[in-house]
Structure 1
Amino acid sequence: MPYPDPCPEVAEQLLQKAGTYLPRDMLDKIFRAYQLGALAHQGQVRNSGEAYITHPLAVAEILADQRMDGEALCAAILHDALEDTALPRSFIADTFGESVAEMVEGVTKLDKIQFNNRQEADAESFRKMMLAMSRDIRVILIKLADRLHNMRTLESKSAESRRRIARETLEIYAPIAQRLGINVVKAELQNLGFKALYPLRYQVIAKQLANQPVLRREAMATIEARLAQRIAVENIPFRLVSRVKGPWSVYSKMRDEHKKFNEVMDVFGFRIVVKKVMQCYHALGAVHTLMKPLDGRFRDFIAIPKANGYQSLHTLLFSPLGSPVEVQIRTEEMDIVAERGIAAHWIYKNRGAASSNAQARAQSWVNGLINSDDFALPSLEFLENVKIDLFPDEVYIFTPKGEILALPKNATPLDFAYAVHTDVGNHTVAARVDRRLVPIRTKLLSGQTVEIITAPSANPSPNWLEFVVTSKARTSIRHFLKRIEHEDAVNLGHRMLDRALELLETSLDNVSAPQLQQFLNENRYPRLEVLLADIALGNRMPDQVARALQPNQSSLLGPDALIARQEEILINGSERGVLTFSTCCYPIPGDDIMGYLTAGKGVVVHRLDCPNIIDYRKHPERWVPIAWDRRVEGDFRVELRFETENKPGALAKIAAAVAECNSNIDSVNYKERDVRISVMVFCIEVKDRKHLAEIIRRTRRLNVVYSVERL
């Protein structure tokens, strides 16, 4: 059967573009891929009515514009064949090579696995694509080209599909293109996504950009002529390009900075492209003698490149327009890397390191995602964590040795510590920024030097998750806390099961290995540690497990005697992962306490004088006798009710007195208020009953306080 040839003009156009930089034998291979793809997709049409093969050819043509290699073009032509046709992977591998088959497989969406919803399927498809990217970065270039052509032909989709695809493009694919430095693709994806998601807003801004006053356009032409003349006087070979911000870029600035269209300063700008790096700085000096720069708006991305390899000088100048004009200055190679990012690697494959640097940075970022604990998370959570890493704004921080790390905007010293190494982050206790001690939640600024102070005994705290911004920091903290929680649960569950077995006058050591293994198998526990953790988390009653392990042993003691006979488990406050301190009575060290086993929550600690104790005694099998250890660590919440004089400053005086006692205030609630008296409830953190007594004494002495009592 002869190969069909449904769109020879499009194929010929692709081959002409590829022929400007690829050898003849590779063009033959691309043509064979086209013939195979046309045969595989024979009879299939797009929503627009065109033959389906026009889409893969258009994707390959986008890549040819970026001068991608022949293997990538073959994979682009066949990228939908595995999903939408009967073409086997083995045939692609035998005909075009294993690397082409791997790329096609990486781009292919998951279609055979059942998911709960469309969102989860998309997230899992994204995870698979990221894994394929870690093996071959060209996968994402094909996927971005695929998405770009889909966005160009979005009109044939339903309104709901257009909105979903546009939102996904703006949230995921455009930021990935930016993260990989492919600005020419990023800009078009953003503008097409904006147009599809907010068509009216797009039309208004696009019209504003197109209908700039003639005087403004003339003024821009005058500035361009003066810039060209001034640089020419310096005998610098250059290329000068004027530019206008796209609709999405203008809209983002208006939205984020709450500005009107005519308040956006750098809608218009110029790019000066020179031959050598030193000529960039020479041209900068020439530009600054022509127009004055705005203070604090100069950025040197040549000395300190962006994380995606972008290099350029940026300066904002006062102009005759009455508003600033941005000027970017870079070399020819920097310009290609700025526009094409990692795609420039295939242009400069055999030249210098300018582009391979961007390639290495991109590969490092992808590998970091795949090798992190994030990759083991559920698909939707993994996708959300990747979104956090796709920050367009970055800060550039120096290590004490002068090395540079790029971090997202609002990053903290703790993010910096985890960027250096997971162990450094886990053991962080303090930080110095420019040699001054600062809190580890301080937001960093570009150019600062950060030094991390560690201690072997220090460990991550759950509240660190409230201020770190990088995916690596958040994942490392969560992983550590989960590991500690599991260890605490196993430890506590072991003690609880031992206490239950003691009432049967035996112990876990006396349970035979076959008997224990039989119980684990029957209840589908892979190992003993999982059972013990389940006991601590309240999902299994220890006395029920004990009786199942020793069916011939039985206790003749009644419920109250059972509670009395059990030896108390001592707690020291470090078991926060499996212990919950109740909010009905707020127990603190020094109080007489008990534990109540609650499914999913583990042991909930109550005071023995808690009003709910009467109900808990009805279920002695859930009662866990516990007591405080000699040394207890951490802070514990407690509520204090204050009756105060109703006048300004009373609250401030109480807060100051509490702070003087080294206690933190979690919240303050007004319960009652009349002309003379206010009633306030403070939730504060204390070490123990002695610390609480000190706070009560200190606050009672205040002249605005009538009474203080613990709730």
Structure 2
Amino acid sequence: MTSWKDELADLDIDGLIAKITTYNPNANPELLMAAFEYGGQMHFGQYRHSGDPYYTHPFEVAEILADMQLDDATIVTAFLHDTIEDTGSTYAEVSEKFGKEIAELVDGVTKLTNLQLSSSETKQAENFRKLFMAMSKDMRVILVKLADRLHNMRTIKAMRPDKQVQKSRETMDIYAPLAGRMGMQWMREELEDLAFHVLNPEGRSSIMRRFLRLQKESGDVIEKITSDIRHELSEAGIKAEAFGRAKKPYSIWRKMQEKDQSFSRLSDTYGFRVITKNEADCYRVLGVIHQRWRAIPGRFKDYISQPKSNGYRSIHTTVSGRDGKRVEVQIRTREMHEVAETGVAAHWSYRDGIRVENPFAVDPAKWIASLNERFEAADDHDEFLEHVKLEMYQDQVFCFTPKGEVVKLPRGATPLDFAYAIHTRIGDSCVGAKVDGIRVPLWTRIKNGQSVEIMTAEGQSPQATWIDIVQTGRAKAAIRKSLRSEDRDRFIRLGRELARVAFEHVGRKSTDKALATAANQLRLKDTDELLARLGSAELQARDVVQTLYPESVGEVDEIDRDTAVSGLEAGQDFDRANCCQPVPGERIVGITYRGKGVMVHTIDCDALAEMDEDTSRWVDLHWHSGKHPAIHTVSILLTISNDAGVLGRICTLIGEQKANISDLNFLDRKPDFYRLIVDVDLRDIEHLHAIMVALEADSDVAAVRRHRDISRKP
């Protein structure tokens, strides 16, 4: 009869302990062995979907963490991370056998495992809050959880197909970006690629086939270019390591979508790294690279002088290499490389058998603490989730105050974001901005290296339109808070009247109990909060009624096309701009054209940049609230599988959303996929969102996004 010891015999615990003691001579082999045996005993008789003994999983998680050179407590936690949840073990027992520190870590991982992070938006926000709270107590909890997810993704093929898709989507949406935000880029790339393999196997296969074809045509490009770099460094007398690699399939696929380029035109399918002895050599290597190969303008980034917030430092440059192929070269020191590879995990790393403090490793709890501090200002779940996503998913730009101080902001940030990053008071009283000494509109996108000066005035307060201009969660939260507090009583009175009329319209009364119930359903603090949002137009009275009495909200008269927009002068005609195709529900602005009346643009339309100086032509416009007819054409860019029946099913899917297809235009026909633009007639922005979600959910749709064409400007 098989015993738990027999199951453990196939696992090389001696080899794992030897690996750990190599980088950490002060490790405790007895503690590691005791945890290994206790975990194996607790999980005895349990099996994975693949049929393997369950304990192979905790062991592999420990292997991943040992490769990251983490401490004993983290690796012991890996051995035990499922014991409290899945076996007869308890917190008290783990604490008694292995100490309170390890028991707390195991308990933290157990709590994270029980979070359903792929549930509804509101639930997801609550879970994110718990996730970050757990991380703020001890960052090692999330390191174990990430290693746990990595091994589960490596073995995901043993799961049911629907579970594979669910776990892969969760990995792509949450765990991969989180690993990247923590600086663990290698783990982010592997998690993304494993999830990509499940979510879009055809897309990944097409990338791999093209890679193989490219290798046949041009030989081993990586070896050739690496050899060239080493030769140039040797000639210059610089001692440094150089190596190259092919980018991961998902990374290439994402760049193809973002840049709207085919594989053959994509420049950076290969990446090369040069590891130097000191910082000065980094810049010497940069000079050697640029002397030997032509630098590509606009593709140089110096993250050594301006590090990322997760501690990442490196010089990035793209050059035209062999046969004109563009290649990216990253240059960094050994210590910078350790942080680039392991991110916050570098805080626990060892070098030459001694635990050392890497000067470039970010404090593992600092950015979590800063997130938690900002989240305290979030008044509801949606704002909290918005903060999380902005912090995790946005790249950064670095700009300067007039005194030369550096301010980090997410890409796409505006002078208003800059003002709120300095201080809420500065943001609230902002009346204008100068970028590099030139007066600019408040919706201008700030670029790397620009100097920003904010002009303020007493008595100024945030405008409702600012919500659509700013990008950062901090600015959005401050503006919303100010808007809600300013004239709050007036908003509450107005909201109460709006609620009364809306309820009477369906034969109901807006009693205090009804309003309190609606506030609870909408996850708002109390009735006053509900009424204030009604009065400030952040919430529609019709939505409040529908929350309580969905069957009572019947059909309403459609708004006539000629009266859909407010803000026009009597007799003034308007038309939608073809470049941005605005739809009801979006923030809009009008531009007057001689002989054409007023052309309506979305507030973020690129065509507006040409009219920055000519403000006399600008007209402040708004869509009338209510039901609009489905006559507003929007172009959607789709990448779909080239299979029988796929296009017909996509058209049916759009029809099921009660939308009409007015035109189809094929951009690219490949053996494995089609790229096409579909023109769809819609009611409003919510109608568009519903269609985009339905399309994105289809397994044969590889990519879907709204298509805007600046060349079609008036």
- SS in structure 2 opposite 1:240? strand
C-alpha distance in structure 2 between counterparts of 1:643 and 1:120, whole Å = 43
1:204 paired residue among 183, 203, 206: 206
Give, in whole Å, the separation in 2 of the partners of 1:210 and 1:412.
Answer: 43
Structure 1 contact 373–479 (Cα < 8 Å) conserved: no
Distance in 1, Cα, partners of 2:381 & 2:529: 29
For structure 1, the residue ranges without an aligned partner over 5 or more in a row are 497-518, 525-531, 539-574, 584-596, 602-635, 671-711
Q: Which amino acid aligns with 2:622?
A: D
Q: Which amino acid aligns with 2:164?
A: R
1:343 partnered with 2:345:
yes
1:173 alignment partner AA = Y
Match for 1:300 among 286, 290, 302? 302
Give 1:72 deviation, angstroms. Answer: 1.1
Q: Which residue of 1 aligns with 2:81?
A: 79
Is the contact between residue 493 and residue 534 of structure 1 (CA under 8 Å) also seen in structure 2?
no
Report what 2:597 is aligned to.
652
Cα drift, residue 50 of structure 1 = 1.7
The one of 160, 177, 187 equivalent to 2:189 is 187
- Contact 1:167–1:197 (8 Å) recurs in 2: yes
**Cα 1:161/1:124, change in 2 over 3 Å:** farther
Show the counterpart of 2:418: 416
Distance, in Å, in 2 between the alignment partners of 1:536 and 1:305 is: 41
Q: Can you list the C-alpha shifts for 1:511-559, whole angstroms capped at 9, x where unaligned?
A: xxxxxxxx99xx99xxxxxxx9848977xxxxxxxxxxxxxxxxxxxxx
**1:464 is matched with which residue: 454, 466, 470?**
466
CA 1:310–1:39: 2 relative to 1, 3 Å: same
**Residue 354 of structure 1: aligned partner:** 359
Matched with 1:130 is 132
Q: How does 1:244-255 map to 2 (within 5 A)?
A: 244-255=246-257
Equivalent residue runs for 1:219-618 within 5 Å: 220-347=222-349, 351=356, 353-356=358-361, 358=362, 360=363, 363-373=365-375, 382-391=384-393, 393-484=395-486, 486-488=488-490, 534=527, 578=535
CA distance in 2: counterparts of 1:352 and 1:115, whole angstroms: 34
- Further displaced range: 19-28 or 281-290: 19-28
SS of equivalent residue, structure 2 residue 253:
helix
TM-score by length of 1: 0.69
1:245 CA displacement:
0.9
Closer/same/farther in 2, CA of residues 644 and 227 from structure 1, 3 Å limit = closer
Match of 2:679 in 1: none
- Asked if the contact 2:397/2:409 (under 8 Å) is kept, the reply is yes
Residues 649 and 600 (structure 1), Cα distance of their counterparts in 2 relative to 1, 3 Å cut: same
What is the alpha-carbon distance in structure 1 between the residues aligned to residue 447 and residue 136 of structure 2? 31
Contact 2:84–2:106 (CA under 8 A) maintained in structure 1 = yes
Whole-Å separation in 1 of the counterparts to 2:144 and 2:376: 24
Q: Report deviation, 1:221.
A: 3.5
Q: What is the alpha-carbon distance in structure 1 between the residues aligned to residue 599 and residue 332 of structure 2?
A: 60
Specify the code of the residue in structure 2 equivalent to 1:642. G
Q: Give the direction of change, closer, same or farther, for the CA distance of 1:373–1:330 in structure 2 (3 Å limit).
A: closer
Shift of residue 122 of structure 1? 5.7
CA contact (8 A) 1:127 1:379 kept: no
Structure 1: distance between partners of 2:409 and 2:372: 19
Residue 664 of structure 1: aligned partner: 620
Instruction: Compute the displacement of 1:463 (Å).
Output: 1.9
Please tell me whether the aligned partners of residues 489 and 537 of structure 1 are also in contact (alpha carbons under 8 angstroms): no
3-state DSSP of counterpart to 1:447:
coil
2:57 aligned partner: 55
Between the aligned partners of 1:115 and 1:390, the Cα distance in structure 2 is 15
What is the SS of the residue equivalent to 2:62? Answer: helix
Q: Which residue of 1 aligns with 2:7?
A: 6
- 2:34 aligns with 32
**Could you tell me which residue of structure 2 aligns to residue 70 of structure 1?**
72
**Aligned amino acid, residue 69 of structure 1:** D
Two-structure CA RMSD over aligned residues (Å): 4.2
**Residue type of the alignment partner of 1:271:** R
Contact 1:107-1:129 at 8 Å conserved across structures: no
Q: Given that residues 215 and 221 in structure 2 are in contact (C-alpha distance below 8 angstroms), is that contact kept between their aligned partners in structure 1?
A: no
Conservation of the 8 A alpha-carbon contact between 1:374 and 1:385: no
Instruction: For 1:454 and 1:237, locate their aligned partners in 2 and report how far apart those are by CA, in whole Å.
Output: 53
Aligned-partner SS, 1:269: strand
Larger radius of gyration: 1
Does the CA-based 8 Å contact 1:460-1:481 persist in structure 2?
yes
Displacement of 1:576 in angstroms is 8.6
Structure 1 counterpart of 2:24: 22
Moved more, 344-353 or 447-456: 344-353
2:571 maps to 1:642: yes
Deviation at 1:147, TM superposition (A): 1.0
When residues 537 and 321 of structure 1 are mapped into structure 2, their CA distance, relative to the original with a 3 A threshold, is: closer
**Structure 2 residue aligned with 1:104, among 103, 106, 114?**
106
Match of 2:700 in 1: none
1:432-461 Cα shifts (integer Å, max 9, x gaps):
222222222210100011222333433322
Give TM-score scaled by structure 2 length: 0.69
Within 1, Cα distance between the matches of 2:258 and 2:543?
Answer: 45
2:73 is paired with a residue of what secondary structure?
helix
Q: What is the distance in 2 between the residues matched to 1:645 and 1:49?
A: 67
Q: Report if the CA contact (8 A) 2:346-2:358 is conserved.
A: no
Matches within 5 A, 1:150-161: 150-161=152-163
Residue 364 of structure 1: how far off its partner (Å): 2.7
| Distance in 2, Cα, partners of 1:175 & 1:26 | 34
Shift of 1:223: 3.1
The one-letter code matched in structure 2 to 1:315 is T
> Which residue type is aligned with residue 261 of structure 1?
F
Partner of 2:34, secondary structure, is helix
- Counterpart-to-counterpart distance in 1, 2:276 and 2:615: 60
Cα deviation, residue 492, structure 1: 7.9
Q: Find the aligned partners of 1:398 and 1:146 in 2 and give their Cα distance.
A: 41
1:98-152 CA-to-partner distances (Å, cap 9, x unmatched) read 3322222222246889999677666544432211111111122111111111110
**Paired residue secondary structure (1:432):** strand
Q: Which amino acid aligns with 2:31?
A: K
Does the aligned pair in 1 maintain the 2:574–2:599 contact within 8 Å? no
Structure 1 87/121 Cα, relative in aligned 2: closer, same or farther at 3 Å? farther
Describe the SS at the equivalent of 1:108.
Answer: helix
Q: CA deviation at 1:220?
A: 4.6
Distance change >3 Å, CA 490–CA 384, structure 1 → 2 = closer
Aligned positions, number: 554
After superposition, the Cα gap between the structure-2 partners of 1:51 and 1:216, relative to the gap in structure 1 and judged at 3 Å, is same
Mapped to 1, the partners of 2:539 and 2:89 lie a distance apart of: 61
Q: 2:117, 2:127 within 8 Å by CA — same for their partners in 1?
A: no
Counterpart residue identity of residue 272, structure 2: F
CA deviation after TM superposition for structure 1 residue 90, in Å:
2.5
Deviations 1:294-313 (A, max 9, x none): 22322211111122221111
**Structure 1 CA distance for aligned equivalents of residues 619 and 223 of structure 2:** 65
* 1:355 aligned partner, one-letter code: F
Aligned partners of 1:581 and 1:386: how far apart in 2? 21
Q: Distance in 2 between matches of 1:581 and 1:43?
A: 56
Q: Take 2:17 and 2:447, find their aligned partners in 1: how far apart are those partners?
A: 49
The answer to whether the 8 A contact 2:567-2:620 is kept is no
Matched residue of 1:285: which SS? helix
| Alpha-carbon separation, structure 2, partners of 1:210 and 1:73 | 38
* Structure 2: 5+ residue stretches without partners: 499-511, 518-524, 546-564, 576-592, 601-610, 630-714
Distance 1:181 1:160 in 2: 30
The one-letter amino acid paired with 1:398 is F
